């Protein structure tokens, strides 16, 4: 059974009414603080308070132990391959520009590799995509 909203609209007026209702609810969701939602849905509070499982902690520790391999691509351009994909580093005189980051547990090793590429500070990080477990 399909919801009525997804059925073919019979009139332009009905389509406009449904679109306005959808846009209005999206606006209201931005205006009200999340604490109101948390107060109204106790299961969300319980889920947020639940500690991570042992398997999640173990997986993060394993990801932090994956070695990072460095491969020069050009004079000031380096590819770092490791946990969660690849990182490209442009090492210029004003600082380093990094495209993507590894998973969060690998940050200490990534920082060591970035420091090993030169004394220039980390100036910019460009994330091409987002995951909850990536560095910010």
Cα distances (angstroms) measured from residue 50 to each of 45, 46, 118: 9, 6, 42
pLDDT above 80 for 5: no
Q: Is the predicted pLDDT of residue 133 greater than 80, yes or no?
A: no
Task: Give CA–CA dist 79/107, Å, rounded.
Answer: 16
Q: How confident is the model at residue 20 (pLDDT cuts 50, 70, 90)?
A: confident
What are 28-60's pLDDT values in tens digits? 666 766 666 556 556 555 555 556 567 777 777
Q: What is the pLDDT of residues 87-123, one digit of tens each?
A: 899 998 889 999 988 877 888 888 888 898 888 889 9
pLDDT (average), residues 57-68 = 79
Q: How far apart are CA 18 and CA 7, in angstroms?
A: 12
pLDDT at 103: 77
Count other C-beta atoms under 10 Å from residue 2's C-beta. Answer: 6
pLDDT band at 17 (very low <50, low <70, confident <90, very high): confident
In this structure, are residues 89 and 78 in contact, taking their beta carbons and an 8 Å threshold?
yes
The stretches of the chain forming alpha helices (DSSP H) are 12-31, 34-40, 42-49, 54-64, 107-116
Flag whether the pTM goes above 0.85: no
């Amino acid at each position: 059974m399909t919801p009525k909203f997804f059925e073919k609209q019979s009139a332009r007026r009905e389509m406009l009414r449904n679109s306005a209702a959808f846009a209005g609810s999206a606006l209201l969701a931005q205006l009200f603080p999340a604490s109101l939602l948390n107060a109204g849905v106790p299961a969300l509070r319980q889920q947020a308070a639940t500690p991570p499982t042992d398997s999640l902690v173990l997986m993060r520790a394993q990801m932090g132990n994956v070695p990072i391999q460095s491969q020069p691509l050009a004079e000031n351009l380096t590819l770092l391959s490791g946990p969660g994909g690849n990182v490209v580093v442009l090492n210029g005189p004003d600082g380093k520009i990094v495209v993507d980051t590894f998973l969060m547990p690998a940050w200490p090793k990534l920082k060591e590799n970035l420091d090993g590429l030169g004394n220039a500070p980390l100036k910019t990080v460009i994330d091409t995509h987002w995951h909850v477990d990536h560095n910010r």
